[in-house]
Homo-oligomer: A and B are copies of this chain.
């Protein structure tokens, strides 16, 4: 599987690549992940970390305690998987306590050191004390840590002292470092944890004051900015780098400039992905580190190739008739059929829909299975995708078919990198030079869809064929292109999907929005290219369970929403009914030109505006899991009509209940 190995290309710094940061260059750091970041048993966690391609792990004590494997067996298992055990954690409430308690703590530590020797781990995380027994006395803390470190060094073990954000007396990294400095023992250093540092608003620049060799370990976690109790925030809302709001590239840069050469290790847990599958979480995790290394200037994977438009959207259904009927009503014409597969091409303007009758008879009926993305350099796009662990989709391609590479997005949607019609690629080679002699450029994949007449006789085309006359008679309704697609995401994979589209495709995420649905808030986040030519709205249902299979939709652009709406009504299109109350409210909400709201009401058109422009839109009824939206953007409107989503969702809910 492509996702399970890392190419060397992503791990070494390409000489001569420009780098805006003055960060020491060398081999990219080793990667590590705390077992607490993954779900399942310790054995399953190790397997998932290794399969994703991590170099090492932190062993979380509770995972070992609950494991039927002995420490020796864990050591062997990790070694067999090619994983180093970079850290054992945590040791709590050690320092700055009355002598009697300290002696007890040293006894406790001695047992842990013995265990670590069995485990083959030589670095122990020591958290700043949260115990009510601890006193606020740096000299005493330093003395105690010195004694602990002396004991540790007898076992060949080193200690990494970490300031917990909620530590009783020590809760900032610079304070922890002052104590470590005062303790002055070679087996004692600090552990820096980005969450503990950034959640308290500490200035990470001070990291550069710490000698690199005294930074024994670096734990990374991102988090959304939420003003809440820091312990709860830490426990429930950590996320992988790039999925929250922290500047982790900056922090890593400080550590590297300080001289830190240890692994970048992820210590991340939250309510959502603790429940997820460990194998895919591990891949998501490693991808986040690769992107972080790139942002911090520590590695130079192939740069992203930002798509410049939608080449097509592919719908799959076991019975294609309802979708064909809908496409005809929308004014699409069937212009071709794939030479070797039961797939039809439907077109109107620059909007292209592939309709595949090869559905596997899945219960959810029609669904959006793939997107074609206009990609200036397909080969470079594939290299980027592979470097960032995107699973490449194996193609069953006939010899004469155009070469089309695709990767699978986290929700399973296949993303095809399609030519733009220039025939050239970024590296100067013409794809026509390729040994397979396949067709190239924008026309490349379309050449696989010869015009229907001549290729398919009426009634012989298998599931999906109807009278070609009907299909070609489609009178255009003013639809020009695909404006955006909206893809509901599985609950566990929302942050993963957002990071995937950002890092693999180079699309920029918008803010996250909460939309009111009759059954809870739907979280929505769009990713878009810089010019808005590709927009994908990622939505997540309020929770897992039976309501997770929300409809997908394709939004088609028009330059005259009223004309398009009128034509679709004349053609008898099934459109989602908008309640009258909506227009009463709309009328009260804004100031209008006379008759304008009456027009919108007559055609069931919804309305939104932002600082830059206006948005008009309406929806078809749903077929299987899929519906269409018709949209008109004017001015520089950048949104998706979020204001109207509750009305749409309620109307769909009503339609569902009959």
CB-based contact B275/A589 at 8 Å: no
Instruction: Tell whether A585 is near chain B: CB-to-CB under 8 Å.
Output: yes
Give A39-72 interface residues, CB cut-off 8 Å to B.
39-41, 61-62, 64-71
User: Which residues from B are CB-within-8-Å of A232?
Assistant: 226-228
Interface string of A608-621 (1 = CB under 8 A from B): 00000000000000
Chain A, interface SS category: helix
User: Which residues from B are CB-within-8-Å of A543?
Assistant: 271, 275, 491, 543-544
Stretch binding the partner chain, chosen from A184-192, A517-525, A633-641: A517-525
What CA separation (Å) do A491 and B111 show in the bound complex? 40
CB-based contact B584/A520 at 8 Å: no
User: Which residues from B are CB-within-8-Å of A68?
Assistant: 577, 579, 651, 654
Instruction: Tell whether A588 is near chain B: CB-to-CB under 8 Å.
Output: yes
Expressed in whole angstroms, the minimum distance between the Cβ of A557 and any Cβ of chain B is: 26
CB-based contact B226/A579 at 8 Å: no
What CA separation (Å) do A39 and B520 show in the bound complex? 7
Interface size on A, residues (CB 8 A): 59
Expressed in whole angstroms, the minimum distance between the Cβ of A246 and any Cβ of chain B is: 17
Q: So how many copies of this chain end up in the complex?
A: 2
CB-based contact A545/B542 at 8 Å: no
What CA separation (Å) do A302 and B396 show in the bound complex? 72
User: Which residues from B are CB-within-8-Å of A581?
Assistant: 64-67, 70-71
Expressed in whole angstroms, the minimum distance between the Cβ of A517 and any Cβ of chain B is: 8
CB-based contact B542/A275 at 8 Å: yes
Instruction: Tell whether A516 is near chain B: CB-to-CB under 8 Å.
Output: yes
Cβ 8 A contact of A108, one of B104, B108, B227, B589? B589
Instruction: Tell whether A623 is near chain B: CB-to-CB under 8 Å.
Output: no
User: Which residues from B are CB-within-8-Å of A542?
Assistant: 271, 274-275
CB-based contact A647/B274 at 8 Å: no
What CA separation (Å) do A514 and B228 show in the bound complex? 18
Knowing A67-B579, A519-B274 are in contact, say whether A587-B111 is a contact too (CB < 8 A).
yes
Interface string of A61-104 (1 = CB under 8 A from B): 11011111111000000000000000000000000000000001
Instruction: Tell whether A167 is near chain B: CB-to-CB under 8 Å.
Output: no
Instruction: Tell whether A650 is near chain B: CB-to-CB under 8 Å.
Output: yes
Cβ 8 A contact of A519, one of B115, B275, B545? B275
What CA separation (Å) do A228 and B199 show in the bound complex? 13
Shortest Cβ distance from A60 into B: residue: B516
Instruction: Tell whether A19 is near chain B: CB-to-CB under 8 Å.
Output: no
What CA separation (Å) do A545 and B653 show in the bound complex? 21
User: Which residues from B are CB-within-8-Å of A589?
Assistant: 108
